């Protein structure tokens, strides 16, 4: 949530204000009347029951389907100065192409259809990946579509930043949060699963 306060009588500078939730405000002297309106009274379990810390050096998963590989390679080359600051992971062919093109180390999982998407999903579940750039093909069915769906589901369940197209990847990779530690909210789905099982 971002609050913008415009006051012609004062010059405001950027400053982050931390409340129960991570709120970024754009002024140095917070207006209590405004903050009281936006400050959550209590963390609801569906928002987050605990957090996981993402370090300054992010662990980035890079995946692309066949018809999107050139697009991902071009994007990665354009953003190589940013990517080289982080740890890179990729599925089989895509990981190899990025490693060769950027001359950067890329931890390679198996090819997507041979279990690579599932391996990356498992890495997300185990807290070993912080962010996923996945250029998937919207026009062609994949033999491992169920794995693709499972991978995207894991990214949502564990609330990691996810970009599935170039514009989203541009916004994500250029975020100022890429250069700092970040507390990612995690939801404990245990209670919900328990309630659903009782219904």
**What pLDDT digit, counting tens, does each position of 60-82 carry?**
999 998 889 999 999 999 999 99
**What pLDDT digit, counting tens, does each position of 100-119 carry?**
999 999 999 998 888 888 99
Q: Give the separation between CA 23 and CA 44, rounded to whole angstroms.
A: 16
Catalytic (active-site) positions: 117
Residue 43: how many CB atoms within 10 A of its CB?
13
List, in sequence order, every beta strand (DSSP E) within the chain. Answer: 2-3, 15-18, 22-25, 50-54, 59-64, 87-90, 106-108, 131-135, 162-163, 182-186
pLDDT of residue 44: 67
pLDDT of residue 45: 66
DSSP 8-state code for residue 133: E
pTM of the predicted model, to two decimals? 0.74
Name the strand (E) or helix (H) holding 83.
Answer: helix 80-83
CA 79 vs CA 7, 40, 72, 116: distances in Å: 37, 37, 10, 24
Strand partners, 51: 185
């Amino acid at each position: 949530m971002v609050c913008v306060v415009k006051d012609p009588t004062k010059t405001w500078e950027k400053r982050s204000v931390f409340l129960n939730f991570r709120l970024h405000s754009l002024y140095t002297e917070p207006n209590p009347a405004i903050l009281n309106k936006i400050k959550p009274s209590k963390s609801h379990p569906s928002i987050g029951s605990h957090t996981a810390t993402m370090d300054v050096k992010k662990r980035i998963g890079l995946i692309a389907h066949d018809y999107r590989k050139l697009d991902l390679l071009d994007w990665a080359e354009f953003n190589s100065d940013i990517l080289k600051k982080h740890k890179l992971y990729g599925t089989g062919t895509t990981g190899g192409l990025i490693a060769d093109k950027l001359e950067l180390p890329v931890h390679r999982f198996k090819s997507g259809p041979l279990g690579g998407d599932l391996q990356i999903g498992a890495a997300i579940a185990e807290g070993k990946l912080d962010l996923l750039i996945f250029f998937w093909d919207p026009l062609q069915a994949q033999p491992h579509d169920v794995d693709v769906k499972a991978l995207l589901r894991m990214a949502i369940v564990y609330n990691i930043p996810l970009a599935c197209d170039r514009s989203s990847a541009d916004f994500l990779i250029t975020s100022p949060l890429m250069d700092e530690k970040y507390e990612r909210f995690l939801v404990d789905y245990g209670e919900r699963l328990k309630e659903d099982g009782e219904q």
